[in-house]
Amino acid sequence: MGLTRRTFVASTAAAVIGGRAAAAVDEKIILFGMPQDFTKIYTFLTVEYSQGQRDYFSLVNSRSGINGYKIVADVSDSANDIPRAIETYERLKREGMVLIDPLSTPVARALVSRALEDKINLVTPFSGRSDAADGTVFPYVMPLSPNYWSQAALIIEFFRQQDKDLKGKKLVLVHIDTPFGKEPIPILQTLSQKLGYEFATFPYAPPGNDQSAVWPQVRRAKPDWVIFWGAGVGQSSSLSEAIRNGIPVDRMCAQVWLSESDMNVVGNDAAKGVLKVEPCASGRDPKIIGDILKDVVGKRQGAGPDAKIGTSYYNYGVMMGAIMVEGVRLAFNRFPNGPITGAWLNAGLTSITNFTAEGLLPAMTITKEDHQGGGKGRIARWDGTKFVPQTDWFAAGQDVVWEEIYKSAETFKTTGK
């Protein structure tokens, strides 16, 4: 049977935080829309991400919500289908939605013009348009996370720190041959001119399950460092082929899309040493994860398997849920009597200052100008059982990143594309 909104909500949300039942019982609600892809393209991450979000909302609601208002997350399966997602968006707009998180680049891009016109906050963590960091052009598009350009700059700065000087070094990008895969190229090229490293790209055809022709070419190039840029099956295939071709995995780094499940596919020991960008802490040590384990999962109100709690993508979901709720809290601080609209929540989101979600993420400040929040992350290394931080939280190359943001945002402003 296909995964419908009704069956999804009924089967996974013990507290019914995703359905109209909550609204019927208590009219004091804040409505978020989550038409996400559970069945087509983004299946490698959506279930864990959504589980983390919903568990965090359950935690907040169990503590009387925010100012007596409960967070209602309307979760549905978009199947990465743009017409279906737009239909859901229009329905939720009529029902008073103030925020939507589609967790899909194609869907997010398709919703940009609607969100801007309707003044509904379109949240696009690690997806959508990187230039949406420019809040002056995209006032209602909210990445609330380090964009792909910032992630590329973080990786290069880590490489520079390890080798002290990248001049004359060979860096390669192995990437899926899609707009997402090509996105870091301008930043990596600009930084190569500034830092003096040689740079080459090696694209592979989507979805990335067959990369056997690419990695022998990478081996012959003899790179000092490898960045691999895909998602889902593409990432585990990249690692497997790199290992098969004798490329040291401890000289390889991914953006945020690398998880424990990828390590399981490749082999936990075989993947030991590989690096990734972390936008927030993984594991169960953060206080907020412990609170979920005690007050949500411990009361049998969790939204999914206990084993997934603390995984990278689960914690990404908690991270984004916490940022959204912080926006709600600050909106109430500024305008306690509402009205509760997208503009009301936007005022709260753009007031977030040095927010860490009790240590889960780097200090984040969102302003009307900067919707990225500073571009901070850290580099973590797989030790065979978990990802271990190799750096403190930091941002890098933001002058280069913002030059690209402004250039792309200006194009959107003049062309709408």
Contact call for residues 230 and 257 (beta carbons, < 8 A): yes
In the chain, where the domains are located = 5-146+282-349, 148-278+377-415
Which segments within 177-267 are labelled E, that is strand?
198-204, 225-229, 252-254
**Which CATH number describes the domain made up of 5-146+282-349?**
3.40.50.2300
Q: Which residues of the chain have pLDDT under 50?
A: 1-26
Half-sphere exposure of 230 (CA within 13 A, CB side): 27
Contact call for residues 75 and 18 (beta carbons, < 8 A): yes
C-alpha span between 258 and 222 (Å, rounded): 23
Q: What is the pLDDT of residue 396?
A: 98
Written out in words, the top-level CATH class of the domain with range 148-278+377-415 is alpha beta
Strand ordering across the sheet containing 387-389: 198-204, 170-176, 225-229, 252-254, 275-278, 378-382, 387-389
Contact call for residues 219 and 184 (beta carbons, < 8 A): no
The residues facing 99 across adjacent strands are: 32, 121
pTM of the model: 0.93
DSSP state of 276: E
